[in-house]
Amino acid sequence: MDYISLLNESQRKAVLHTEGPAMIIAGAGSGKTRVLTYRIAYLISQGVDPFNILALTFTNKAAKEMRHRIEKVIGNEAKNIWMGTFHSVFSRILRAEADKIGYPKSFTIYDTDDSKTLIRNIVKEMNLDDKLYKPNVVLGRISSAKNKLISVKQYLNDPVIQADDEAAMRPKIGKIYEQYANRCFKAGAMDFDDLLFQTNVLFRDHPDALNKYQNIFKFVMVDEYQDTNYSQYLITRKLAAQNRNIVVVGDDAQSIYAFRGADIQNILNFERDYPELEVFKLEQNYRSTKNIVNAANSVIKNNSAQLKKDVYTDNEQGPLIEVIKANSDNEEGKLVATTIFEEKMSNHLSYDDFAILYRTNAQSRAMEEALRRMNIRYKIVGGLSFYQRKEIKDLIAYLRLVVNPNDEQALRRVINYPKRGIGETTEQKLFVTADETNHSVWEVIQNAGQFLGNRVGTAIENFSIMIKDFARIADNTDAFEVAKHVAKHSGIVDDLYQDKTVEGLARYENIQELLNGIKEYVDDPEKEDKSLSAFLQDIALITDADTKADMDGEFVTLMTIHSAKGLEFKNVFIVGMEENLFPSQMMLNSRADLEEERRLFYVAITRAEKKLYLTYATSRYQWGNLRACEKSRFLDEIDPKYLNFKYGEQNTASGGGGNVFDRVLQRKSSISSLVQPPARKQAATAYTAPADFKPSDTSNLAAGMKVEHPKFGFGVVSKIDTQGNSTKAIINFDEVGEKTLLLSFAKLRIHN
């Protein structure tokens, strides 16, 4: 019983409550995992059989952590608790009862790729347009139906659902759903949604099975209850109907998964199902400083749909929240990177103490590039590095093919993406013919009629013409204009635009962000060569260094706010605090959507323990055009006494004094000196090359040589760095300091 003394009064009351329904409203950082753990331990100490306890979580990690903590208190009996995710627990039940609903006990569980492959085959067999009936879109529609317990029969007979599909120009989704369900059943397979859907079917159609598990699960506990969907809600309500010993734990202020089917009404209306409900509020935050907790409270109070609670902390006051305004998203990235570097050095911190959170994955590009330039190591959580994402690699592959049509890997990637009628058999024939005739695949493609005969059709000829057209444009314009043209006329943009799922919209935004990055490259006055070839070499150097980085050691963490839920960091940067970005433009159509965005911001704020930074840009590239941005309305919802506005915003906080952003701006040269040799003073006027300036052959350039550059003037080569086919020269110029130049493009005159 010693562990009870470790709890505060509210936590203790929640743990000692053992009979009847209860709701534990757990504010951010309030110790809810400890309460759940000790409550289970206390039940067992009071004679409850662990086999009679059901504890449902949303992640295997959470279940594992809770079980480990319980073991420390009560020993091996913790192994007998029915504890795990909804899917793991109910797949276990379904295996035991599968014969009742016509499935074998050894049924297969399809993952997402299995489901998409099956849907793709069904669409093909039904002779439907695979551009309209994309597997991702169809599976999303079927998944949504299952989570709402809508069967195939109900789907086909519901006029509202059918009207929605007609409006979306996908009237056959119901028939695909029917085929998909039949094929899964015949194969003895369930997808992830079926594990919940079929559990509901089992309990609905077989009262004996429901009664069996009602008697087994005398005590039901559900973690993160605000994230449950209708299917999960109904299962837990049925299981608890007999004993009514159900305890749910959650925080309505952290309900952020509506797009996955989560229904905040489950927690808001919990008392409707259990009038005798007891409510316990865990309101003491053990994670964050007073300023952070109070700022979060001042934001979330603007939501009308919420359970009342007063979150507080006894922690230190802490520094004010820094609000930084940058002129552009590129500058925003630089300021974040330099701030992290300075904070680490000044306060002897680890890079592991820092996290950068953003609303969309596309925002990582500017952050990643700024961190790379500062040699700050980072890791992407819940997503791929920007340049490793499929849609980015697809467009980059097209651009590589424009520059070098013999690039076989790029060709393999895009020859039939988006689909253009070049099937696997034809594609294989191209590569076999190239190998047998000792020609490049591109040569075979250009002369397909000669090598393969007229039977290959026009698809290959059209592909060849398209790539040649792209190459012609590349010869006469800069990297951005080429990339914009390729993105549009290759069909990639249109293909991604048609996918209206959350994932599809994210991929579409990522292509936009890549084009933004190319536009910034072209607009950079220090980039002499604006060609597509130069850009691709620049990107190749970045991504190559990234993939070869030693993954041991400390990293700054980058992730979306959705991925950050449940985590905490000493120092947090929430970037892109702009209208139409956060809150997202897609979440401004209703009050319910806006309130979900506000809860997402609340989650982001409460990830921070010690320091919080909120950054926004006054301009941001959008499809290659520089657009003016307005700061987020959420910034105005924070009580200004918790904020410190700097760099372009009047400081509304009392006390004055400099902050980290002042130091970043005032001491850039001193920061730079820690990561590279000191730069010499910038010349008052740009260097003007003499009329007789003529670049030298730099193939034998070596360290120590004196050189002249038409823009940077005179300097001395300090290092030559060769990576693959690229050679860079690091040169200390007399007037502008150190520069790194690619010798294949740099115009240098060597002086003896």
**Residues marked as catalytic:** 32-33, 223-224, 254, 607
Adjacent-strand bridge partners of 22: 247, 278
Kindly list the distances between the CA atom of residue 121 and the CA atoms of 175, 202, 487, 735, in Å, as whole numbers in the listed order.
14, 29, 28, 64
Choose among 200, 246, 244: nearest CA to 221. Answer: 246
- Distance from C-alpha of 309 to C-alpha of 247, rounded to nearest angstrom: 18
Burial of 436 (0-12, 13-18, 19+ CB in 10 A): exposed
Report which of 478, 586, 582 is spatially closest to residue 536, judged by C-alpha positions: 478
Residues in Cβ contact with 211 at an 8 Å cutoff, skipping those fewer than 6 apart: 242
Distance CA 689, CA 708 (A): 9
Give me 674's structure tokens: 């820690």
| 262 annotated as belonging to a binding site for a ligand | no
530 appears as a binding residue in the annotation: no
The DSSP result for 236-303, as a single string, is HHHHHTTT--EEEEE-GGG---GGGT--THHHHTHHHH-TT-EEEEE-B-SSS-HHHHHHHHHHHTT-
Other C-beta atoms lying within 10 Å of the C-beta of residue 179: 19
Helix (H) or strand (E) segment spanning residue 614: strand 608-617
d(CA 737, CA 731): 8
d(CA 676, CA 175): 63
Q: Is 33 annotated as a binding residue?
A: yes
- d(CA 750, CA 262) in angstroms, rounded, equals 66
Reading across the β-sheet that carries 737-742, which strands appear in turn?
A: 737-742, 726-733, 713-723, 706-709, 749-751
Determine the Cα–Cα distance for residues 104 and 107; give it in Å rounded to an integer: 5
Question: Would you say 28 is a known binding-site residue?
Answer: yes
Q: Are 256 and 603 in contact (CB under 8 A)?
A: yes
Q: How far apart are the first and last CA of the chain?
A: 84
User: Is 704 labeled as ligand-binding?
Assistant: no
- CA 484/CA 488 separation, integer angstroms: 6
Using alpha carbons, select from 665, 670, 745 the residue that is nearest to residue 710.
745
Contact residues for 575 (Cβ-Cβ < 8 A; gap 6+): 332, 336, 356, 357, 358, 363, 367, 615, 616
Q: Is 421 annotated as a binding residue?
A: no
Query: What backbone torsions phi and psi does residue 683 show, to the nearest 5 degrees?
Result: -70, 145
Separation CA 223–CA 377 (nearest Å): 34
From CA 464, how far away is CA 444, in angstroms rounded? 10
Q: Are 402 and 479 in contact (CB under 8 A)?
A: no
CB 592 within 8 A of CB 305: yes
CA distances from 486 to 404, 415, 458, 479 (A): 15, 14, 20, 10
84 labeled binding residue: no
DSSP letter for 578, please.
Answer: B
CB 155 within 8 A of CB 177: yes
Interhelix angle 532-547/502-523, rounded to 10 degrees, is 120
The verdict on whether residue 30 carries a ligand-binding annotation is: yes
Cα–Cα distances (Å) from 529 to 365, 524, 533, 746, in that order, read 21, 10, 9, 8
| Spatial CB neighbours of 76, under 8 Å, sequence gap ≥ 6 | none
Question: Which two structure tokens, joined as six digits, stand for 619?
Answer: 């301009």
Instruction: List residues forming the annotated binding site.
Output: 26-33
Instruction: List residues forming the annotated binding site for ATP.
Output: 26-33
